[in-house]
Chain A
């Protein structure tokens, strides 16, 4: 959409709401991408930290 006249916010970003509750589900411990996820979770790394390794 086009920016309306007079719209302003700090650093041009205005948070309004937040996400609704998530559902807890079991992911399947299978495949290359899961192993990467498990590695991140066990070592408490973020995506970008993981990318660097």
Chain B
């Protein structure tokens, strides 16, 4: 209708556009997401553009120019898009072309033509050029002109930033079908695998990037995702991990070559150090030792050295702990406990570092699955998660009219009531009043929802009472039995006294407290050891529709519980 492209003529890809790296992906005809490598063979394409005598270099080729041609090289510009100059942090761009104020936007002064003259290129033009190169790479690979995309953005990207990105993409010949949030794209990449099983679970997505780290807590309920909390950090990042190595090698270099200066104080020396240290970091994610080698680091001296992973793990110790604190902070912000988390998805380049994964994993109970390459054989490459998610989403909506997509993503559709407490039944108990709470629908499940569960009945069978109730999750902390203290009472030594009590860890477990009872129902004459199927539907008005039936039996009991709103609204 009113759209530029006829949906049937669309060739849509997924784009993950990052400050450090970007990726492109598509979905094959049999529904598998694939990441596209560019002409250089890179799947992780550096988000960098560089100009040499009017020629535009992109990706890995542009990254090398950070050493010799830093002034005409633009890097780390994604977060500048759609921003005012005073609100940006230009630190990441110190080693490349500096951002400048340009009217209401941001520009870079670079020599991008053959003429001996610098021109001001706005960040949106830079973005367009970058996206155009990505589009060309994808078009060449697919053999079809790519004209649409789903692009991933951080959860705190403002509408102004999205508008600016949308415009820049249009300039590059890309119709943006939808912007999707990076952490959700990562979850989608996992859930879209053919062997994936949909379950109701709380997920943590920790995206550990180069210039920023983003953690999101997501409730996944029947394949529908809700972000409960998110945390963004610009200090605990991959660049800081690189810096740990930069400092280490710079000091080693100075020890060996006392007369030469500090390579960190030399612009080119620093640029070479940074590039090489990032490569060393990547090598240490795969192997247990790595070589560092830079020609003419400073003062014309070549420098080579090796480092093993143990040493690196030691050097980065503080930062690894900071990563894990960041993740725990996000869980806290969602008012949850690590025990509530069933899966952690590590995304972003630094998720490859084994010690980052193991430190974060150690902060969670053993029941939590950690999806990172070093801890799980089924983990997807963390660098490819968001682009895979974008590619899958692109294939799902590529045939839709833009108008349809806009209407579907409108808050009218997306703002949905979520259950405040879990709803379930009391089961396995001989008593009439008590029972063990068995959650059927978890808290934070969007409404309307329908769930079915099979519960066991008291062993002897007979008539069964089914109580439907709200359940409140409770963390039960069991203090260790103060055994050693009793013996210590006679002892006067204070120091040894404290040692004992501190060593024993508290035992924490998740339990349910039964909240408000919603209804009672009777199922008569259940067979010995019989099971009862419970189906509960909760409407958007909080009305509950329950059906109970013995497995294999006929009939069953059904009942309706009115929602609370109806009566309240009626009186108002």
Contact = CB atoms under 8 A, between A and B. Distances in A.
Contacts of B561: 15, 17-19
Contact of B465 (A7, A19, A22): A7
Contact of A25 (B409, B418, B450): B418
Interface stretch (B32-40, B125-133, B343-351, B536-544): B536-544
Interface string A1-39: 111100101011111111111111111111111110110
A32 B413 CA distance: 15
Contacts of B537: 47
Interface in B260-287: none
Contacts, number: 192
A35 B557 contact: no
A51 to B, nearest CB: 10
Question: Interface on chain A toward B: helix, strand, loop, or mixed SS?
Answer: mixed
Interface residues of B, number: 80
A3 B21 CA distance: 63
Contacts of A37: 224, 413, 446
Interface string B403-438: 000011101011111111101001101111111000
Interface stretch (B93-101, B111-119, B176-184, B371-379): B176-184
Nearest to B517: A16
B184 A20 contact: no
B551 interface: no
A28 B181 CA distance: 8
B447 A31 contact: no
A41 interface: yes
B518 A34 contact: no
B225 A30 contact: yes
Contacts of B524: 3, 12
Given A14-B521, A15-B562, 19 more contacts: A1-B427, A1-B432, A1-B433, A1-B467, A3-B463, A7-B465, A9-B520, A11-B557, A12-B523, A13-B520, A14-B559, A15-B519, A22-B417, A22-B418, A22-B447, A26-B411, A28-B225, A28-B227, A29-B408
Given A2-B465, A3-B464, A31-B396, A24 B417 contact: yes
B448 interface: yes
A28 B180 contact: yes
15 contacts: A2-B465, A4-B465, A11-B558, A16-B520, A18-B562, A20-B470, A20-B515, A27-B225, A27-B226, A30-B393, A33-B223, A34-B223, A34-B225, A35-B408, A42-B407
Contacts of A9: 520-522
B458 interface: yes
B559 A25 contact: no
Contacts of A17: 516-519, 561
Contacts of B544: 18-19
B418 A1 contact: no
Contacts of B430: 1-2
B462 A2 contact: yes
Contacts of B180: 28-30
A7 B463 CA distance: 10
Contacts of B447: 22
Of B226, B446, B516, chain A has the most CB atoms within 10 Å of the CB of B446
B473 to A, nearest CB: 14
